[in-house]
Structure 1
């Protein structure tokens, strides 16, 4: 793509961001610190329910960089220091503080309605104009800019012009749909059921500082998550193929999720006194990809570009990293420098995404879980794996990151 000269002040705003979620808010914070004028259009009205509640420690560095960390620290979210993987009678704990990469080793497990609202409110205070219940319907190029058409809840049509657009619309995938950028994901079609419950689990019997990932006892392609919150509630979810769900035809979503969790004795005992806060929801075919992460005067952030799978909680981390990388390129472009979006944004971003992808592929192929649960792992190897699980998928000093597929294959052979 040729280098487009961006001129602050030429259009009504410098950068339009579609979506006020984590990617959009962090991008806005970066751009505001550069002195740019930013407007965010968000389809929903915040606060709103969302999944993706278990953060990774690497996200803390980015929140700190854009001065958004303090309000998150003060919000009272559940501390998180690791993850537990369970498989039949086997289980293994990873403490993120014992990782290979330097940096944060703790983070939070967050209710996303509250977390996303805090971030959006903070960037609004910093100077971003945020418009909620705004549905983007059309984009077109104009002289020295780009025009966006959006509709409010009453159906009224509005327009806005900018020098550049960042699409942080998540699963809405606004620009990929409008500009025909979507391509099939390389990952198989899967479906997830999820909800929140009041758990009533005694503190002495349960470590609320860790997410629990449990493989279904009768189907190794099916797994369940359990994410504790600080208010005594939990996020529960299951991921499986459509074929697995066929056995529950005729049951409600609530009954189906309950049957799945109760198939595991440990989870069934933990959730004996649990009661639903919300009806069970579902999302299917969520893995996605695009034929380009950027184009003339636009770039895609977070899930708008690519979503892999929820198993390693990488979604918010990738969203933050994409915002960081894109805004760094935009800073140079607005300064009149010659930039290369492919080399400076796409390739670095894909470096980490492909590390996560190797872990996701190995998880469903059945090669990763035996590695995670292997009883005699070398402590240094464990630390390297732990770094990726903590979100440090861009740390090229880590041999796991340098060639994830080769590393997993080698360690798998040694474990056997």
Structure 2
């Protein structure tokens, strides 16, 4: 079975790339291991997600959805003192980035996949890729097995690895590199009936601090549900030998009075989950016949909710670059050098802010107090406008804390 593009994984990155390519008239196949809708963490969108969603034709669907509107983000000290909300519309006067959404990923991802189907992409679910097919050093497709045990080979001019945090290619090829520092653990659940802020703040994301630079997320959703979880070093969360997830979660709720108060009126759905080793990077973005997209290329600590934005941005950009490559007859790894550099630039800019956040000596308030002009640049980066020159901001932040050097990853692997 031959295609122009074979996409492994139907999450936001895969469905975005598929929608773009199918819209151009290319023959596209998505292979997805699970049956949608399926559970996924990562519910908060940031403002600059709007651009990719608009390119994909998703904005009218998002506006018709029941997803909670998000206008701001706020930060809460352990004693319950909350910052003033950071309203997007105070920085951006255009509708496209003044408001975004808090989504239930099972529903949002299905909407994205259906959008790709509507544009002409073929989708096979409940089918697992076993291995990539290589000939003369080039990836020419993949071998997959369906739920009935039937093994089939699918061939394409180019294969896209959109397997998310699993990082199919990077893991198997030895390209996957842990971030030197950002390897946290998250324990989370969902609450129904917990407190929310009034009015326009009902849908805001709250980042609530706990000792040792850990934090809670509190993300309101529709149907009176809230996604809430704690992120910290594994040795902190499992101190005193505690490993039961509910015990860990309940203990940490006591470490932030705002979280304790807001959860006091609600009840957990009873299921607690854990995710570890958050941040990783792939040495390469492409190889002959292969392109890495979304979390399969790089996955960053979620404190600033950049994951879906980066997945959508990379998916749209991958689709556009592959289309140009098909038209020009050049799908070589080098053709994707700009793609790799652009996505890595965005990751590195967001990564610097994440590193600063986890340093106990860092405070957004103190940076802005000394450098009032830094407020706009910080807002831009946190909102997802990550491909711009932030050199002045980094110099200002380095007056308070060190920032990491950029990682030398993401370049194409030449034939």
Q: Which residue of 2 aligns with 1:409?
A: 398
Q: Is the Cα contact below 8 Å between 1:100 and 1:383 reproduced in 2? A: no
1:382 aligns with 2:375: yes
Cα displacement (A) at 1:342: 5.2
Distance in 2 of aligned mates of 1:372 and 1:335: 50
Q: Is the Cα contact below 8 Å between 1:100 and 1:386 reproduced in 2? A: no
Structure 1 residue aligned with 2:50, among 57, 60, 65? 60
Q: Is the Cα contact below 8 Å between 2:194 and 2:226 reproduced in 1? A: no
Distance in 1 of aligned mates of 2:393 and 2:126: 41
Q: Is the Cα contact below 8 Å between 1:165 and 1:297 reproduced in 2? A: yes
Distance in 2 of aligned mates of 1:252 and 1:206: 37
Structure 1 residue matching 2:271: 3-state secondary structure: coil
1:333 aligns with 2:325: yes
Structural mapping, 1:256-271, within 5 Å: 256-271=248-263
Structure 2 residue matching 1:23: 3-state secondary structure: helix
Structural mapping, 1:68-87, within 5 Å: 68-87=58-77
1:21 aligns with 2:11: yes
Cα displacement (A) at 1:308: 1.5
Distance in 2 of aligned mates of 1:17 and 1:101: 37
Distance in 2 of aligned mates of 1:260 and 1:402: 37
Q: Which residue of 2 aligns with 1:311?
A: 303
Cα displacement (A) at 1:406: 2.1
RMSD between aligned alpha carbons? 2.4
Could you state the TM-score of these two structures normalised by the residue count of structure 2?
A: 0.88
Q: Which residue of 1 aligns with 2:206?
A: 212
Structure 1 residue matching 2:223: 3-state secondary structure: coil
Distance in 1 of aligned mates of 2:52 and 2:184: 30
Q: Is the Cα contact below 8 Å between 1:72 and 1:118 reproduced in 2? A: no
Gaps of 5+ in 1: 1-10
Q: Which residue of 1 aligns with 2:225?
A: 233
1:352 aligns with 2:342: no
1:197 aligns with 2:197: no
Distance in 1 of aligned mates of 2:368 and 2:8: 46
Distance in 2 of aligned mates of 1:35 and 1:279: 43
Cα displacement (A) at 1:237: 0.7
For the structure 1 residues 47 and 127, does the alpha-carbon distance in structure 2 shift closer, same or farther, using more than 3 Å as the test? same
Structure 2 residue matching 1:254: 3-state secondary structure: helix
Distance in 1 of aligned mates of 2:392 and 2:329: 32
Cα displacement (A) at 1:58: 0.7
Structure 1 residue matching 2:183: 3-state secondary structure: coil
For the structure 1 residues 95 and 202, does the alpha-carbon distance in structure 2 shift closer, same or farther, using more than 3 Å as the test? closer
Structural mapping, 1:116-195, within 5 Å: 116-142=109-135, 146-195=140-189
Q: Is the Cα contact below 8 Å between 1:183 and 1:291 reproduced in 2? A: yes
Cα displacement (A) at 1:412: 6.9
Distance in 1 of aligned mates of 2:196 and 2:392: 42
Distance in 2 of aligned mates of 1:79 and 1:378: 31
For the structure 1 residues 32 and 342, does the alpha-carbon distance in structure 2 shift closer, same or farther, using more than 3 Å as the test? closer
Cα displacement (A) at 1:367: 4.5
CA offsets, 1:315-353, max 9 Å, x none? Answer: 111111211222222122111165744541111111111
